[in-house]
Structure formats: C-alpha cells, structure tokens
Amino acid sequence: MPINEACSWLGIHRSTFYRKRQKQLRAEEDDPLVTQISELQKRRNFAYGAKRMAVYLSKLNGFAINHKRVVRLMRLHGLNSRVRPKRRIHYRTEMLEPVQEPLYNVLKRDFSSSGPMTKL
C-alpha cells in the first residue's frame, strides 16, 4: 500500500509519518555517546546532570558536546540524574527543663540606661 493512501486512511499527514519514522530510526541507532553516558551514570550512581555530563564528555572525548544534545539523549534513553530528597530539619519544640516560675517583663519596653551593660 502506498504511503499516501495509508496516511489518508489513518487521517495523518505524510510529513508526520516521516517525522515519526525518523525519530524511531534515531532512537534505535547506537550512539557512542549514549554508551558513555550510561557507563558514567552507573559509575557515578546517577548523580550527574546534563550540563555536568556534557562538560565531562567534552573533556573525555576532546571535542565540544552541546548540553542540549546530552539532555535529549539522556531523556530519550532514561538516563536522567536522580534527585535526592531534601533533608528535613527537625526542631525541638519541647523545652528541656520546665520553667518553674513564669517569666516576667522586667524592662517593660524601657531600653534607656544610665550606663553601659546595666540593662543586660
């Protein structure tokens, strides 16, 4: 069946068919960068992001590699970095020793003093 008839039968444009086919062909071909990225991610425990990976690959291979290409390859092959969850800071809300007497306002908003270190 010709591609024109198949596309009209499916209700898609012919350019869409070729674009999808091109993406599949690109995804199937073995890129040496993908193997390098996967090895580095496994060695570094998936800690490197795309920009850091692009710098590392550029130094490793000896020629410039665009970080956008690395982003595309990492996303396409599922090699993205793993985001570590932020650590929660737990504050103590209870007092260590309970205060026996209530604290009184001794200054009563009068911060003027006759000499240094008298109000402290």
CA–CA separation, 65 vs 24, rounded Å? 22
Question: Mean per-residue pLDDT for 105-109?
Answer: 84
pTM of the model: 0.51
Question: Mean per-residue pLDDT for 82-96?
Answer: 78
Q: Is the pLDDT of residue 67 over 80?
A: yes
